[in-house]
Amino acid sequence: MPTPDYSQGPDRWALLQEVSEFLFAEADLLDERRYDEWLDLLADDYQYSVPLRMNVEYADADTRGETKAGSEVCWFDEPKSTVELRVMQLATGVHWAEEPVSRVSHLVTNVRIEEVAWPEVKLSSRFLVYRNRVADETDFFVGRRQDTLRKTDDGWKVVRRYLLLDQTVLLAKNLSVFL
């Protein structure tokens, strides 16, 4: 069997189709609050980062437009073990920020393969996370997302998720949902 050519042609399209479907299915698990199944899709070395955005000059936008994951304050910058704590908190039944439960939809679009370094694939996409709470409390979290997926014997796993939320001041009162 010839080695797949992920740089172009049918192999690339098939791969894009496969990883896109994985991302959509993952989004469904989140929105259906099937957190245990969702956690299984995160690699043990998973890292989740959402830096803060800042108003800076045009010339600095690429270098200073957001805080640095790994050393500066971010909305999120954490390993899987912290994500697991968050899931546990949601399940307590007394996590008031999500009691009663919010209605959440994760939209993932503009999915594109940035790089293939088998068994890892780097993806670029856009996200729109919609949350509706209680009655009229409605939040939109929108921005750019970069995911690194890894193909394992146990299927695809998310290794790295890095999101650039398009807000400097968070216009929602909290971030009690996963972006």
Binding site for another protein (CB under 8 A): 50-52, 54-57, 60, 67-68, 71-78, 82, 85-86, 88-89, 92, 94-97, 134, 137, 168-176
End-to-end C-alpha distance for the chain, whole angstroms: 39
How near is the Cβ of 8 to another protein at its closest, in Å? Answer: 40
How near is the Cβ of 83 to another protein at its closest, in Å? Answer: 10
How near is the Cβ of 152 to another protein at its closest, in Å? Answer: 26
Q: Which is nearer to another protein, 98 or 123 (CB)?
A: 98
What residues have CB less than 8 Å from 106, skipping those under 6 apart? 27, 30, 31, 127, 128, 129
Alpha carbon distance 47, 59 (integer Å): 29
Task: Specify whether the CB–CB gap between 168 and 54 falls below 8 A.
Answer: yes
Alpha carbon distance 47, 176 (integer Å): 18
Q: Which is nearer to another protein, 17 or 174 (CB)?
A: 174
Q: Which is nearer to another protein, 86 or 122 (CB)?
A: 86
Q: Which is nearer to another protein, 29 or 175 (CB)?
A: 175
DSSP 8-state assignment for residue 66: B
How near is the Cβ of 143 to another protein at its closest, in Å? Answer: 15
